Structure formats: structure tokens, C-alpha cells
Structure 1
């Protein structure tokens, strides 16, 4: 991933529900994963995606990194079918495909990879560019904070809901295309919206974030803007 230029994200040590842990255990989940990343590739993560989307201000402050959610959950973890994965993103949720979108997919599932091989060229042909979440933030004139992000849509930026946004930059002033269509591991403050599920099963009952399920039995990688594993 490092050699490919992906951003290295942290999705916790063993996919625990952070709402069920004390803060010391939460910190250990991410610090243990960071140490494993350092051992594997020489660097710790720059961003975090919490399992099941379960994070709050106390958890984010304790971990001390930007947390990412998603604008569009492909539900690939549920479908595990190339055609359904494609349809979910390119047809059923086509209105969400726009400049600044983060798409959640899981590269542990082969159908997701095959679907991405269809989806990515189409997005590029539509004028979009896939970037890491930190590259997206920089392009949108956002200095990432210890906060939660799920999109970089211009109207959300302009409404003041994206922590660290410093105003319109020349690069994003008029572009509806040139988006990251991504996956992580969440912009616009802490309120993620109504329909976010991180797709990986039914565990991860989020007492504080209704509707979040992270849907991944194993450690997953988000396709698109951020490659968080």
C-alpha cells in the first residue's frame, strides 16, 4: 500500500466496538495496530476509521487522529456480488457520486475488488480523480483536525460543518467533478447522517450512533479516497 501511494489508516486491532471499551482499551486498540503498521511498513497510520463507525468526541480525543466515515456505504460486505456492488454505487446511489464523496468498500471481499475494477475506470471517465482522504482535505482547503469527517461536499464545507475548513480555494471553487470517490473510514463534524452503516455484520450495535453497523468480519480496506486497512 505504501509503495502504491495509498494512505495508511488504522481500523483498530481486532475490530472491537469502541463503545463497549474503556478509554485505555480504546487507545490500546489503535496503538497496537499502529505498532503493527510500523513493524510492517515503517510508519504509523495518519487517519482512523472506527469499527461500526462507533466513535465519539472522547474516543477521538484519546486516539488523537482524524476519524473518517463515509458518504456512501456500498453494502458490499452484505452483497458480496460484483453486479450488486456495482449497481449499489453507480445506479442506486448515483446521486451521492459527486465531488468530495467517500465510498465505503472492503477489499477483503473478492467481489468488491472485481466491482472496483469496473467502477474506477467509469468514475475516471466521468471526470473524477481518486485521491487519499488527506489529499482530498488539502485540495478542499481543510486542515484535518481530531474530529470526524464523512464528506468534502462544497455545500457542507460552506455551511461550516467540516472542521478545519479555511474557505474556498481556487482549486475547488467551481468543480463538481474531480472527486475522490472513496471509502473511509467521515466528514462534516460528528453527525454522520441517517444512513451510514459500515457494512460488516450485525455486531457493533452502536448505542450512540443509531444505524451504524460496520459490516466487516475481518480487517478491511476502504476503496477510494482513503485506503484504510
Structure 2
């Protein structure tokens, strides 16, 4: 790992650990996160992890730019993943159905699989949460089975229902709130992904792992899921 520092702002530095998105990055990202939090202590304003980087926002009145670089270097010295450091594990129930997952036939057609095989491919994997973004509680997860990796829609929807589970390229995600979106929607979860009562407001955090568990409509409704159909894109 050849990490480096990039300037973001006068009080913000980016630590780039990797250049490519890989699942194997996450143990190193977690280790670096812990080290940087310890190094900056109360002078850390925010630490934002992403696929390959950690953005360090520090208190400029307490830590100068050169000192910040020194603290980062100290934190990254002899960095090694901690085998005991793991994120939380989540199981998200999902109702996979054409009425709420209108791109299921598209993924089946593109992959040469049946719809049931697409569902199995998506639900049998464990995914890493790489980053949060786009909307509060929106977790970018991956990597999906290459057979069902699919480009985003050429024309995004104006309204995607909260809980909608989709695939975009090699990643998967669930929409925490109703919003525009261009991912291929294959189902819907009743799980509450964005909650102001949660630490960080998000059910999932970078470093967590996620599995999707297929449920039927009756169970989905019992869990207070909204079964209003979502129209397919023209």
C-alpha cells in the first residue's frame, strides 16, 4: 500500500490509501480510521471514509497544516488490519417482485439468467458497505455477482420509492427515502435505513457487512413495507 496525502482545503486533507475499489481494501480502511481518530483526538472535526480514501477535517485553530501531516504520518506508520475490528452485520429483508422491482426482467435478459436466478445471485452474497452518500443513509455496497452487474438507467426516475433495492454497475444499494435515482430496481426492503435516532443517522456505516434475505409480500406488508408498485422505465 502506497498511501499519500492530497489537499482538500486549508483545514482538510485527504489520505488516499488505494487507487482501485476492492473488497480487500476495507480492513485497511478500518485500521486507518481508528488510527486517525486516535491521532487527532478532540481536534478532529470529521473523518469521512470512502472507497479508497479518508478525508480528515481538523480544527485549524488547534492543529496547523504541517502538524496535521505529521499526525497522519504517525497514524499510518506500520499500519496493519486488526482481525478483531469488524463492522456490524446486517440482514435486510427484501421483497423481490416485478411490481416493486421492475428491472428484474432487464437483468435477467442481460445476464441470460432467469428472474429467480437473478434474485438468488443478489441475495446469496455478503456485501461490504464502502461509503455513504447521495442521500442520508444511502449505503454503496459491493461487489455484486459480475453476471448481474448492470449500468445505471440512461434516464433516471424522478421518484424512486423508499426502500427500493437496486443495482448500478458492480454495486448495490437501497434508497433510504423517496428520491430521484437511476439504479436498476429489483426489489424493496421494509427496513428503516435513515433514522435521526441512530448514531450517524444511518442504519449502515462503512465497514459494515450486509446480506439481503428474500421475503414474500405477506411478510413484507407485515413488516410495514409499502407495496405501492413502481413503474418500469420506458
TM, length-normalised to structure 1: 0.22
Which has more radius of gyration? Answer: 2
More helix by share: 1
Q: Per chain length, whose mean CA-contact separation is higher, i.e. which structure has more relative contact order (CA < 8 Å, sep 6+)?
A: 1
More strand by share: 2
TM, length-normalised to structure 2: 0.22
